[in-house]
Structure 1
Amino acid sequence: MAQRDAEATRAKILAAAREEFAAHGQAGGRIDRIAREADSNVRMIYAYFGNKSGLFDAALSDAITRMAEAVPPIPTDLPRWVGELYDFHRDHPEVLRICLWAQLERPEAASEPLAAYAAKAAAIHPQATPPFSAVDLLVIIYAIAQAWQTAPIGLLSADTGATDASRRAAAIAAVARIVTPGTA
Structure 2
Amino acid sequence: MAYDSHATRARILEAAYREFAAYGLAGARIDRIAANAKANKRAIYEYFGKKEDLFDQVVTERLELSVQAVSASWDDLPQLTVDVFDYYASDPDRMRLTLWRQLERPAPVEREVDHYRESLEAMAEGGGDRAITDADLYAVIWAIHHVRVLTPLALQLADSGAPWSKERWQQVRDAALTSVSRIVREQSSAS
Return the TM-score normalized by structure 1.
Answer: 0.89
- How far off is 1:111 after superposition? 7.3
* SS in structure 2 at match of 1:40: coil
- How far off is 1:135 after superposition? 1.1
Match of 1:163 in 2: 168
Q: Percent identity?
A: 37
* Contact preservation (8 Å) 1:128, 1:179: no
Residue 151 (structure 1) aligned with residue 151 (structure 2): yes
- How far off is 1:43 after superposition? 1.3
Structure 2 CA distance, aligned partners of 1:14 and 1:173?
A: 36
* Contact preservation (8 Å) 1:124, 1:134: yes
* Contact preservation (8 Å) 2:120, 2:134: yes
Deviations for 1:51-99, whole angstroms, at most 9, x for unmatched residues? 1111111111111221122114512211111010110111122223223
Structure 2 CA distance, aligned partners of 1:128 and 1:34?
A: 46
* SS in structure 1 at match of 2:186: coil
Match of 2:186 in 1: 181
Match of 1:127 in 2: 127
- How far off is 1:108 after superposition? 1.9
Matched residue pairs, number?
181
* Contact preservation (8 Å) 2:60, 2:112: no
Runs of 4+ deviating beyond 6 Å: none
One-letter amino acid matched to 2:48: F
Structure 1 CA distance, aligned partners of 2:21 and 2:156?
A: 21
Structure 1 CA distance, aligned partners of 2:147 and 2:43?
A: 38
- The runs of 5 or more residues in structure 1 that have no matched partner are none
* SS in structure 2 at match of 1:154: helix
- The runs of 5 or more residues in structure 2 that have no matched partner are none
Return the TM-score normalized by structure 2.
Answer: 0.86
- How far off is 1:151 after superposition? 1.5
Of residues 59-68 and 5-14 in structure 1, the stretch that sits farther from structure 2 once superposed is 59-68
User: What do you get for the CA RMSD once the two structures are aligned?
Assistant: 2.0
Of residues 42-51 and 72-81 in structure 1, the stretch that sits farther from structure 2 once superposed is 72-81
- How far off is 1:123 after superposition? 1.1
- Quickly say closer, same or farther: Cα 1:130–1:167, change in 2 above 3 A: same
- How far off is 1:120 after superposition? 0.7
Residue 137 (structure 1) aligned with residue 137 (structure 2): yes
Match of 2:55 in 1: 56
One-letter amino acid matched to 2:59: L
Of residues 145-154 and 63-72 in structure 1, the stretch that sits farther from structure 2 once superposed is 63-72
- How far off is 1:113 after superposition? 3.3
- Quickly say closer, same or farther: Cα 1:89–1:96, change in 2 above 3 A: same
- Quickly say closer, same or farther: Cα 1:68–1:152, change in 2 above 3 A: same
Taking the TM superposition and a 5 Å limit, the aligned residue runs for 1:1-184 are: 2-109=1-108, 112-125=111-124, 126-127=126-127, 129-160=129-160, 163-181=168-186
- Quickly say closer, same or farther: Cα 1:128–1:28, change in 2 above 3 A: farther
* Contact preservation (8 Å) 1:75, 1:123: yes
Of residues 47-56 and 129-138 in structure 1, the stretch that sits farther from structure 2 once superposed is 129-138
- How far off is 1:110 after superposition? 6.0
